[in-house]
Amino acid sequence: QLKHAPLVAPHPRIAQTARALGFDRMTVSGAGDERIVRALVAAAAVPSVPPVVQPVSTNPAQSRMTETNASTNAAPQPSATAALPPNQPFTPYEAHKRRSMSGPLLWFVVVILACAVGVGGFAMNRKLVRTEQALAQRQQANDTQTNELRIKLDQALASVHQADSQVAQFEGKLADAQAAQQALQQQYADLARNRDDWTLAEVGQMLSAASQQLQLTGNTQLALFALQSADTRLAASDSPQAVAVRKAIAQDIDKLKAAPSTDLTGLAIKLDNAIDHVANLPLSGEAPIPHATPHAATWADTAKVAAATGKPRWEVWFDEVTHGIGDQLTSLVQVRRIDHADAMLVSPDQGYFVRENLKLRLLSARLALLSRNQTTLKSDLQAAQTALTRYFDASSKETQTVIDLVRQVDTGSAAVELPNLDTSLQAVNQYRNRG
């Protein structure tokens, strides 16, 4: 019963699908709400009529046309409603008919196109084969040319390398020639020097050696001998440069003669003796005290003393008694004065370190004396004298001996600094750099 009910389809494809499902009363209203509503109103206005069974037509298009006409006659459009433009008719069955008619033609066209494509492909293949052959020939020709060019390039490179080797040989020969020329020029310049140049060069070497020996050994006599020898060598030349150098040498000779001679060896021996006595030096707090020797007092004759002095006898006796008691008390107690309190704080164990520190000071002074370091020498000697007067017993003979040796070295080291030969060396250097 549902399949015999009236059906409104907005599109012909929907009607075709409904037909395939078994619906037999269909109306195609067309797209749009107004057409659908209008078709529904028209279908509702038609009384329900039992379906009329018609013979099934083999032509779907004819059946479709019959249904369309029937639906059109069954649903007349009301006159009050404005006419809408009709939809484009959709005839799928006619299209199918045309498709079925155009099938052989389509196959014919496809066969023709296939034949054309085959012929074109064959022709293209032949053309590609010919093109590949041409390209192969051209590639072979290019390879041949490339090989020829490569051979020529190798030959050119070989010739270039050969030329480079020849140029390198020529450059080596040129460098050798330039070196030989420079050597010849140097020999010419050396030979062109006059006797004054050689003499001043020799004098400069002698002065340099004498200055080094003077600073190292302090031997003024050797330096004086070197200066006198240099002056003797320059005396044979009358050039102004030689005269200027001789004046500078004369000034250095006067400085060496005026320099006081210092017996460095004797001063070093005195420092060695002082170092040997340090181990026996007594500290201020450990000076030995001689033991008192008891002896009987000798009484004087009071009568004779009273007669000689004119004093009463009892007064003379009283003076003798008091003096005897005083002498005995003096032998029991001894009072000494120590100016530095630090010396009393030094324990016997610390005395070893005080003595070793004094030895180190004296050894440092000895090294400064031999190296002619006046500043270090004075500093060490002053520190040694301060330690001797502060920590050791000044009344001891050993301490006095060491203090005397240190003072002698301090006094004799005033002339430790030696003169130099800078005046002569500067004059020689000025002559060498005169150009």
Predicted confidence band of residue 345 (pLDDT cuts 50, 70, 90): low
The residue ranking higher by pLDDT, 245 or 360, is 360
Domains held by the chain: number: 5
The residue ranking higher by pLDDT, 56 or 309, is 309
Helix (H) or strand (E) holding 9: strand 7-9
Q: Is the pLDDT of residue 89 over 60?
A: no
Q: Give the pLDDT confidence score for residue 51 in this predicted structure.
A: 44
Q: What is the pLDDT of residues 96-123, one digit of tens each?
A: 445 555 678 888 888 899 999 989 889 9
Residue 46 sits in the same domain as residue 36: yes
Is residue 151 in a domain? yes
Is residue 276 in a domain? yes
Q: Is the pLDDT of residue 249 over 50?
A: yes
Residue 234 sits in the same domain as residue 382: no
Is residue 429 in a domain? no
Q: Which tokens go with 126? A: 């032949």
Residue 218 sits in the same domain as residue 104: no
Residue 355 sits in the same domain as residue 269: yes
Residue 251 sits in the same domain as residue 313: no
Q: Give the pLDDT confidence score for residue 10 in this predicted structure.
A: 92
Beta bridge partners of 392: 283
Among 241, 259, 277, the domain-final residue is 259
Residue 255 sits in the same domain as residue 165: no
3-class secondary structure per residue, 381-424: HHHHHHHHHHHECCCCHHHHHHHHHHHHHHHHHHHCCCCCCHHH
Residue 128 sits in the same domain as residue 222: no
Work out the average pLDDT over 335-362: 73
Is residue 380 in a domain? yes
Q: Give the pLDDT confidence score for residue 94 in this predicted structure.
A: 47
pLDDT over 70 for what percent of the chain?
72
Q: Give the pLDDT confidence score for residue 84 in this predicted structure.
A: 46
Q: Give the pLDDT confidence score for residue 285 in this predicted structure.
A: 63
Q: What is the pLDDT of residues 36-52, one digit of tens each?
A: 998 888 888 855 444 44
Q: Give the pLDDT confidence score for residue 218 in this predicted structure.
A: 65
- Across the chain, mean pLDDT equals 75
Ranking 57-71, 313-327, 352-366 by mean pLDDT, the lowest is 57-71
Residue 114 sits in the same domain as residue 157: yes
Residue 404 sits in the same domain as residue 353: yes
Is residue 106 in a domain? yes
Q: Give the pLDDT confidence score for residue 311 in this predicted structure.
A: 78
Q: Considering only CA atoms, which of 372, 368, 362 is closest in space to residue 262?
A: 372
Residue 363 sits in the same domain as residue 275: yes
Q: Give the pLDDT confidence score for residue 115 in this predicted structure.
A: 92
Is residue 426 in a domain? no
Q: Give the pLDDT confidence score for residue 193 in this predicted structure.
A: 58
Is residue 431 in a domain? no
Q: Which tokens go with 102? A: 């155009």
Residue 69 sits in the same domain as residue 181: no
Is residue 265 in a domain? yes
Residue 239 sits in the same domain as residue 265: no
Domain that includes residue 12, residue range:
2-90
pTM for the model: 0.36
Work out the average pLDDT over 181-198: 71
Ranking 3-12, 24-33, 98-107, 398-407 by mean pLDDT, the lowest is 98-107
Angle subtended by helix axes 264-278 and 397-412, to nearest 10: 160
Burial (CB count <10 Å: 0-12, 13-18, 19+), residue 283: buried
